[in-house]
């Protein structure tokens, strides 16, 4: 979209000042369970958020999360969470709110960074990361500072 609002000698990008996102995946025709709920934007970016407790110790029994922001409690260096199926552009912001490392598992058949398919990514205690799906099988991390 072209810049069209004059501000002195510069221009301001267009912004969304209204609109609704429901559970329909953008570009898709079916609803994604645990994805966006109804959100109305008034000019800012809104991301769904959730709080979960880490569970299990394998990809098969880790706590499932959705896209958006997830605050995770209960990590003890063995428990973990399971990412949604990778889909190009999907984004998960994860905050490990525990004093131990958290295992982050991809869905079966997916991978995180250069780690082997179906292997976990370790998120240090009291830190955050952004995971972005590059395509339908690969997530890449953008590490954040401890907080």
Structure-block tokens of residue 40? 């109305």
Strand order in the sheet with 121-123: 63-64, 80-82, 102-105, 121-123
Residue 113: what pLDDT?
Answer: 96
* CA 71/CA 61 separation, integer angstroms: 18
Q: Are 101 and 80 in contact (CB under 8 A)?
A: no
Q: Are strands 138-143 and 63-64 parallel, antiparallel or unpaired?
A: unpaired
The b-or-e profile of 93-110 (16+ CB within 10 A means b, else e) is bbbbbbeebbbbbbeeeb
CA distance 11 to 123: 40
Specify which residues 139 forms β-bridges with. 112, 133
Q: What is the pLDDT of residue 46?
A: 80
pLDDT tens digits along 62-103: 999 999 999 999 999 999 999 999 999 999 999 999 999 999
Domain 47-147 indexed as CATH 3.40.50.300: no
DSSP type of residue 58: S
Angstrom distance (rounded) from CA 120 to CA 130: 15
CB atoms within 10 A of CB 65: 20
pLDDT digits (tens, 9 = 90+) for 9-54: 555 554 444 444 544 444 444 444 454 444 555 556 788 999 999 9
Q: Are 128 and 96 in contact (CB under 8 A)?
A: yes
Domain extents for the chain? 1-46, 47-147
């Amino acid at each position: 979209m072209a810049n069209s609002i004059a501000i002195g000698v510069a221009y301001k990008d267009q912004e969304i000042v209204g609109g609704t996102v429901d559970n329909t995946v953008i570009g898709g025709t079916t609803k994604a369970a645990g994805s966006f709920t109804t959100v109305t934007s008034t000019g800012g970016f809104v991301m769904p958020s959730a709080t979960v407790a880490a569970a299990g110790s394998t990809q098969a029994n880790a706590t499932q999360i959705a896209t958006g922001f997830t605050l995770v409690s209960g990590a003890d260096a063995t428990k973990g969470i399971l990412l949604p199926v990778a889909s190009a552009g999907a984004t998960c912001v994860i905050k490990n709110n525990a004093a131990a490392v958290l295992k982050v598992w991809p869905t079966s058949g997916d991978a995180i960074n250069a780690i082997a398919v179906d292997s976990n990514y370790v998120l240090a205690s009291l830190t955050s990361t952004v995971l972005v799906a590059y395509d339908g099988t690969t997530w890449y991390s953008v590490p954040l500072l401890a907080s």
